[in-house]
Amino acid sequence: MKLHVTELPQTTLTLEPPFPEIFTGETVTLRYVHPKAVLTLQSAWAQIFTGDTVTLRCEVEGGSAGWRFKQYRDGHEEAWCSDQYSRRDGDSCTISYAQNSHSRVYWCESGQERSNAVTLSVSKLFSWVTLTASPGATVKEGEALNLTCEAAVNKTPRPELHYTIVRDGEPVTNSTDSALYSIASTEKSHTGSYTCAVESQGVKKSSQELHIEVQTSWHSAVAIGYRVSFTLIHFIVFTLLLLQYCRIQGETPSQCTHFTWPVTAHMQASSCDFYSVNSTPQS
């Protein structure tokens, strides 16, 4: 939406008395009539966006003392320039951070006299913000993952943007330089809900949540299976060795059960004790 300003009151010339014809010898008076007040809008932009600074100035002949800023709100006239975003300074009212709610009709008045009206339309700075994942929202452990934050900005030239990517409520990036979050090698801990927030000139907009799932790869599954199998085989082999040793010594398995795991090949003829790698054989 664009800003619309009504035509300003024009200076007029009146004749007193208002005779339709003037004859030689008659006395007449010509009088310039100036408007009492003129409301103007001052902004660096032809189109106003959320977060912009806007100033409305009530120029009154003889000074603006006693003149008030008014607005139409919900079909009613009411005083204005006293909310958290606006501040009056002499004949001006400045909106520090324009909001969509400031899209209204304004004027200034004193008693029965009022200025021209100005219609202020405030457009959204952002249309949308999205967060996308490449190669996808589901990846295998060890694969690379790129999260990209994109924002549709309506203002030209494009203002500086600040990007924040959040995982499960905790920021993982916080930058004005890059909208990209890259993970070279994903882990299970990277699983979670991600959002992206873009902020500029006091206006913030967030994307919808994107759930990222990191699945266990077959390489990891094989590695875990290998470790479990190796440990199990290790246990079985040394159990069999223990039983064989006990048989040679002529002892029952219940008499030959004292050993420390993992077992090493430290065995003595007079004892059924087995020791770990770092232990010292008993004397």
- CATH no. of 126-215: 2.60.40.10
Name residue, tokens 């951070």: 97
**What does the pLDDT read at residue 224?**
59
Residue 103 has a pLDDT of 93
Whether 98 and 48 have beta carbons less than 8 Å apart is answered as yes
The pLDDT of residue 281 is 44
Tokens found for residue 263: 């077992």
CA distance 52 to 141: 45
- Which element (helix H / strand E) includes 20? none
Which distant-in-sequence residues (6+ apart) come within 8 Å of 42 by Cβ?
A: 54, 55, 56, 57, 92
**Reported pTM:** 0.62
Q: Which CATH architecture has domain 4-123?
A: Sandwich (2.60)
Query: Alpha helix (H) ranges present in the chain?
Result: 218-249
57 forms beta bridges with 40, 92
Across the 283 residues of the chain, what is the mean pLDDT of every consecutive 10-residue run?
42 58 70 71 88 92 82 86 88 93 92 89 96 95 95 93 95 88 95 96 95 82 62 77 72 56 44 40 42
User: Which pLDDT does position 255 carry in this prediction?
Assistant: 58
pLDDT attached to residue 177 = 77
What is the rounded distance in angstroms from the CA atom of residue 45 to the CA atom of residue 1?
Answer: 13
Domain boundaries, the chain: 4-123, 126-215, 218-283
Residues 45, 51: Cα–Cα separation, whole Å = 12
Nearest to 5 by CA among 50, 60, 42, 51: 42
CA 177 to CA 187: how far, in whole Å? Answer: 26
Bridge partners of residue 107, in order along the sequence: 70
Predicted pLDDT of residue 3: 41
Task: Check residue 42 and report its DSSP letter.
Answer: E
Contact predicate 151/77, CB 8 Å? no
Measured from the Cβ of residue 279, the count of other Cβ atoms closer than 10 Å reads 12
